[in-house]
Structure 1
């Protein structure tokens, strides 16, 4: 309930940027970046196109807000898991369970496919996606892998390459389902794929076979 005497329109105005970002996430996921129209985003958010421009000067600014506000905050969960999990194998398995759940709640696959497909014409998309999401995630994994190597849990090797190996199966499965399932291909069970993939990669990374289930 609003405090006594506070006009309703004041709360509504404060909510508008978040409503616009949520609408943009939906439209970008459905139509891609080039085909997404600002007037459609504005209509979905319940504002005029002129009001949208009060908050976001360009479509690129709006995409940055989508990543920063709707997707990147999940980095805190990943960081916390990395900080609070002692064994790297346990961390990898925890994130293999968490990331498919995240992909079910947010259209990560659709946005990733959009960035991959449109990065050449809109390089700012790739820059934002990398700087705000992909780069930090790889950094968290790489740091955890380097620490595990120092403890003797993981074999020598490039931590960054190991991190990409762990993430690649899930990403490919998500993009496959987003691209080919709509035209009749049998979709992958993403949670099952993630579980199998992480065990396969860990089998080549871990120094202690006893760390495997």
Structure 2
């Protein structure tokens, strides 16, 4: 059965993403576009056709890397859950990813990509925008949930999402690198819940503009 053009495009896109993931994790800022294309069995022209540029390919990788965290939490959290329970579920989900057999390779890719972004202002701004977009998904998930008898405002949800992401990324790296072997799922959940404080959330209502 012949593949449709859309199926071929999707296969080629996936092949380039997988090749880029391997090579960036291995070579960091020395990763070469021609080698990525070669390992995918394609030409550099395919990269430009499917992604627009090497940087756009790398940003697509970030989306590919981060999306499962947020897809998983959105599926695991029910609308009835309050803020504290929601952040605990998210933290436990993050902890489970540390036990994935591919966790070390994913961390190598993440650090290598950050190194690339530090050297390339254009990539740095695109990377920041991509991370913010995923953070906004978490903000939307938290916003309106109950805490101490009040619904979390979008501003409070955003402050909590920023702190929560930073905490869990750091803890996860510690587990994967062997610096926090005893950080269990319960520890992740307790650390995440400790962020749900007035100091982190900020005021329930914005200050008057009078």
Give 1:164's match in structure 2, choosing from 139, 162, 165: 162
Q: TM-score, normalised by structure 1?
A: 0.67
Q: Does 1:195 align with 2:173?
A: no
Please give the per-residue CA displacement for 1:3-48, whole angstroms capped at 9, x wherever unaligned: xxx379996565212111121122222222x211112212221223
Please give the per-residue CA displacement for 1:154-210, whole angstroms capped at 9, x wherever unaligned: 8xx9543333333333212344467xx4xxxx4433862x53143134246369xxx
Structure 1 pair 130–78 and aligned structure 2 pair: CA distance change class (3 A): farther
1:119-134 correspondence to structure 2 within 5 Å: 119-134=117-132
Bigger fraction of residues in helix: 1
Contact kept, 8 Å, 2:17 with 2:61, in 1: the verdict is yes
Hey, what does 1:62 align to over in structure 2? Answer: 57
Q: CA deviation at 1:66?
A: 1.7
Q: CA deviation at 1:129?
A: 3.0
Q: CA deviation at 1:83?
A: 5.4
SS of the residue corresponding to residue 84 of structure 1 reads coil
SS of the residue corresponding to residue 111 of structure 2 reads helix
Structure 2 unaligned regions, length at least 5: 199-210
Structure 1 pair 108–83 and aligned structure 2 pair: CA distance change class (3 A): farther
Contact kept, 8 Å, 2:83 with 2:142, in 1: the verdict is yes
Query: Size of the alignment, in residue pairs?
Result: 193
1:92-131 correspondence to structure 2 within 5 Å: 92-102=87-97, 104=100, 108-131=106-129
SS of the residue corresponding to residue 67 of structure 1 reads helix
SS of the residue corresponding to residue 205 of structure 1 reads coil
Contact kept, 8 Å, 1:112 with 1:175, in 2: the verdict is no
Q: TM-score, normalised by structure 2?
A: 0.68
The separation in 1 between residues aligned to 2:138 and 2:10, in whole angstroms, is 34
Q: Does 1:36 align with 2:31?
A: yes
The more displaced of 8-17 and 104-113 is 8-17
Hey, what does 2:14 align to over in structure 1? Answer: 18
